[in-house]
Amino acid sequence: MNYRHFAVLFLLLTSSWAQGLKPADPARFEKAMQAFEAEDAAKAPPKDVTVFVGASNIRRWQSLPGRFKKTPLLNRGFGGSQLSDVAYFADRCVIKYKPKQIYLNAGGNDLHAGGTPGEVLASFEEFVTKVRAALPKTQISFISIPGSPSRWNEVEQVKQANALIAASCAKQGVDFIDVFPLLLGADGQPRAELYVEDKLHFSEAGYDVVTSAIRWQKEILAFGKQDAQKTPPEHPIVFTGSSSIRRWQTLAEDFPGLPVMNRGFGGSEVFDSFNYAHLTVIQYKPRLVVFYAGGNDINGGKTPQRVLEDFKAFVTKVHGALPECRISYISNAPNPSRWKLIDKMIEANRLMEEYAKTDARLQFINVYPHMLGPDGKPKPDIFVEDGLHMNAKGYAIWKEVVGPYLK
């Protein structure tokens, strides 16, 4: 190397150090650890807790408890942290709680500070090694590094780091929750609405995507395994949505001679079907989609208007890829266990019916009146014990009402 090359290299290195690209000192987060410890002293953490840990997208997730209401949670994100910092402080921010489940999201700050994908992988594996040594039965899930708009120039490094970590997860029995593609639009660019003004941190819409991935990725991937075992029909009729679809086990028998497919996933909301439409619907190039969801949304506190907006997003996504595909929406059913919400269910049905009138490719299938008895209440003999899901008699009603729309 001649003097000129050495001088250029020296200038590059010193410039990087001046910009803060030298390895960061984990001790800068000592106050954050002490704050967690003070919080623990003031209120004892729950047992069998699920810990979310990582950088600022975890720390800023204020709606986290409301999104996982049935799960005892701890948010141990500390903003600006690198994956190497999380590994360094694993004993104090994760292991001490003896969690049942860990969700980890970090690595983007490492790359932004000049770290390589290989170094990010090493930090991830250090974290896993520490946790597994202390808590061998604890489940670990890594939420992939997002490709944010403000750091899109680093996207290739993000992709490389995610690929390395995904491969490591597969070897170590760690769940790799891949939110990266879900945060992109049809143009392959980050969806602006999923980020706040700084174009780095998630908006609530972004957290909707992450929540959906955490809840449903395993079930969605299971559909891929089914396809590998049995080739899907060409241009099928895809039934998708929540548990009333998933539990419709007699679809093929009820509609003989028709290429029906069941891609329902129980407990899901309309947004989840939108979020995974590319894998549950679009990839099969269906002639018709039969959709049922919305009751879980309303039961979870969403408004009928939000149900409509999420369904519109689903329709837009499907028609963007398959403009000739018909979509039939089955009305919200009158379930005994959710009768207190019936006014909101009726309003959601009204909104859906009106929306269906705006496009000849949409149909509204109204099963609601067919499920009521002479007293105007749900027929008690068409539901299983939970008062929510239908038995064979209930599906017989749906068969008769839905059937004509499949022709």
pLDDT band at 285 (very low <50, low <70, confident <90, very high): very high
Cα dihedral across residues 108, 109, 113, 116: positive or negative: negative
Percent of the chain surpassing pLDDT 90: 92
pTM: 0.90
Q: Is the pLDDT of residue 16 over 60?
A: no
Q: How many C-alpha atoms does 189 have within 13 Å on its Cβ side?
A: 7
The domain 232-406 having CATH identifier 3.40.50.1110: the answer here is: yes
Give the pLDDT mean for 284-291: 98
Confidence at residue 24, expressed as pLDDT on a 0 to 100 scale: 72
pLDDT band at 407 (very low <50, low <70, confident <90, very high): confident
Q: Do domains 25-216 and 232-406 have the same CATH topology?
A: yes
Q: Is the pLDDT of residue 245 over 80?
A: yes
pLDDT digits (tens, 9 = 90+) for 18-34: 344 455 788 899 999 99
Pairing type for strands 73-77 and 50-54 reads: parallel
Q: Is the pLDDT of residue 312 over 60?
A: yes
pLDDT digits (tens, 9 = 90+) for 85-121: 999 999 999 999 999 999 999 999 999 999 999 999 9
Confidence at residue 293, expressed as pLDDT on a 0 to 100 scale: 97
CATH of 25-216, one of 3.90.1150.10, 3.40.50.1110, 3.65.10.10, 3.40.980.10: 3.40.50.1110
294: left (phi over 0), alpha (psi -120 to 50) or beta: left
Which range is least confidently modeled, 69-73, 107-111, 153-157, 272-276?
A: 69-73
301: left (phi over 0), alpha (psi -120 to 50) or beta: left
pLDDT digits (tens, 9 = 90+) for 56-77: 999 999 999 999 999 999 999 9
Coil, strand or helix at 151 = helix
Q: Is the pLDDT of residue 215 over 80?
A: yes
Q: Is the pLDDT of residue 14 over 80?
A: no
pLDDT digits (tens, 9 = 90+) for 363-396: 999 999 999 999 999 999 999 999 999 999 999 9
Confidence at residue 361, expressed as pLDDT on a 0 to 100 scale: 98
Domain boundaries, the chain: 25-216, 232-406
Element (H, E) at 175: strand 175-177
Q: Is the pLDDT of residue 259 over 80?
A: yes
